[in-house]
Amino acid sequence: MVVRQNHQPPLPTVTKSTILTIGFTLLLKDKQIFKGEPLCPKMRTPVPGPMSKRLKEDLGKIQECGAVEFFADYDRSRGNFIFDVDNNLMLDFHNQLGTNPLGYNHPAFTEVLRNPEFQSSFVNRPSLGLFPPRDHVRRLKTTLMSVAPQGLTNVHTFSGGTTAVEFGLKAMFMLYQINKRGSPYPTQEEMASCLRGHKPGTPDLSILSFNNAFHGRTMGALALTHNRWEFKVDLPQPNWPVADFPQMQYPLNEHEIDNIKEEVRCLEMVKNLFETYKKNGSPVAGIVCEPIQSEGGDNYASPIFFQGLQDIAKENGACLMMDEVQTGCGVTGRFWAHEHLYLREPPDVVAFGKKMVIAGIYLRPELRPQQPARIFNTWLGDPAKLALCSAVLEVIEKEKLVNNAHACGVYLLTELENVQKQNPTVLSRVRGLGLLASVDFPTTKIRNMVVERLRELGVNAGISGKYSMRVRPTLTIGRQHVDIFIDTLRHVIKDLRFRRAFDD
């Protein structure tokens, strides 16, 4: 690990975390994204520390909280660094499941809170489907519509990505039925029968999704989610078609033929499922797909695969919905990840959320309902979140953060590939696009140990799928943050405890 110790006088006996801190301080002197961002991690206790453990025990008395990893001190966190309640300072490459766009306590966010123009949005939460504020149209046009995917001229906002996916499903189902009956207006029989869940008002339709996909945990979105049993067991689900998503071999340039065969196999499976479900009386109304399967292992496919999906959907009168909740907002080096796929025409639906601060769906005009309240809930999002989204988009444009995501992403991937070349028995399948990056380890145990050890040394990373470690930096990441992560990862791999675990 490069910690520049040779530039220091002899050191007394210190912890490895202290050595890392000294090295990073030298490496990053005077490099800050914005005022107040720390230079390097500083660890005081194991993670979780005693205070986090006490708070988790207290929380456990009133709710199930087994997934809690540590309690954070958000007042002190800055930029790409997060403090926990035990005074540990970590470089955060987990970033709240990849939702943090600009870093902790970014000045643009605090300015929104101080701006009198937005105070009413935080004090009065309107039911946007009934009583939107007078500046709502202007704000939608200057924020969400300013970054709308090409050809998608309608937008609806919601509170979370799962809700966005749910309403995207409804829009696709409704369009399928409109095309089938030849009219946007349901018959009297359809209106009466749907209230009891009977045909013809409640049609037997299906949505095609993919193995290892994640689209949310409400019932419709959960029917499309296939990555962890904890999300699905004991819950009834519709019998909708599930196809294989390509499992690419890496490096890509060494496995071109095998990867093409894999994508062809998956596309043939999609075609067969369309035919089977049509014959069985439950035709497929739409395909829902992530441009990059994020929760299921950071799985990628080529543009040819996605173009093939769109062709199959069009041939069968179905829609294509791209779930960009995790991949949107510039993180891949383009504002929308599906821009990398060069689809022949825009997707029919694009869901967004997470780094956008507010969630929602973009629709082609054909999917716009003809009756009121068909895409509706109490809040339809939150003007306060729309104000924060406006700040995110302004900073992205002003600081050219999409370009930064591309440049730092190339650097991150190159450095990860170098670590892999030096440790081929430990790391494999380095992959990424922009700031979405992952690497595999031989076993789940080793992967988990690496993530735990990284955290002990001041880098908070995440997991994905069975063997993958993933990183999700903010858009304000710099090369210096990548250096901290890479140096710490090298240190972990060389660590004796890790080597013993690997040998076992």
Give me the sheet containing 81-84, strands edge to edge: 72-78, 81-84, 89-92, 459-460
pLDDT of residue 500: 61
Distance (Å, rounded) from C-alpha 45 to C-alpha 344?
53
> Residue 5: what are its φ and ψ, rounded to 5°?
-65, -25
Distance (Å, rounded) from C-alpha 30 to C-alpha 423?
32
Per residue, the 3-state secondary structure of 224-278, as one string, reads CCCCCHHHCCCCCCCCCCEECCCCCCCCHHHCHHHHHHHHHHHHHHHHHHHHHHH
pLDDT of residue 215: 97
pLDDT of residue 5: 33
91's enclosing H/E stretch is strand 89-92
Class of residue 88 by CB neighbours under 10 A (exposed 0-12, middle 13-18, buried 19+): buried
pLDDT of residue 28: 44
pLDDT of residue 502: 60
Prediction pTM value = 0.92
Distance (Å, rounded) from C-alpha 504 to C-alpha 497?
11
Q: Are strands 436-440 and 206-210 parallel, antiparallel or unpaired?
A: unpaired
pLDDT of residue 495: 82
Residue pair 305/266 in contact (Cβ under 8 Å)? The answer is yes
pLDDT of residue 12: 32
Encoded tokens for 344: 């022949």
List active site positions.
214, 323, 354, 378
pLDDT of residue 210: 99
Going from the C-alpha of 19 to that of each of 43, 68, 103, 314, 458, the distances in angstroms are 11, 29, 26, 58, 12
DSSP secondary structure, 442-502, as one string:
SSHHHHHHHHHHHHHTTEE-EEETTTEEEE---TT--HHHHHHHHHHHHHHHH-HHHHHHH
β partners of residue 323: 351
Distance (Å, rounded) from C-alpha 163 to C-alpha 344?
28
> From first to last of its 504 residues, what are the pLDDT tens digits of the chain?
333 333 333 333 334 444 454 444 444 443 445 678 999 999 999 999 999 999 999 999 999 999 999 999 999 999 999 999 999 999 999 999 999 999 999 999 999 999 998 888 899 999 999 999 999 999 999 999 999 999 999 999 999 999 999 999 999 999 999 999 999 999 999 999 999 999 999 999 999 999 999 999 999 999 999 999 999 999 999 999 999 999 999 999 999 999 999 999 999 999 999 999 999 999 999 999 999 999 999 999 999 999 999 999 999 999 999 999 999 999 999 999 999 999 999 999 999 999 999 999 999 999 999 999 999 999 999 999 999 999 999 999 999 999 999 999 999 999 999 999 999 999 999 999 999 999 999 999 999 999 999 999 999 999 999 999 999 999 999 999 999 999 999 999 998 555 666 665
362's enclosing H/E stretch is strand 359-363
Report the candidate in 241, 244, 220 with the shortest Cα–Cα distance to residue 232. 220
Distance (Å, rounded) from C-alpha 290 to C-alpha 325?
9
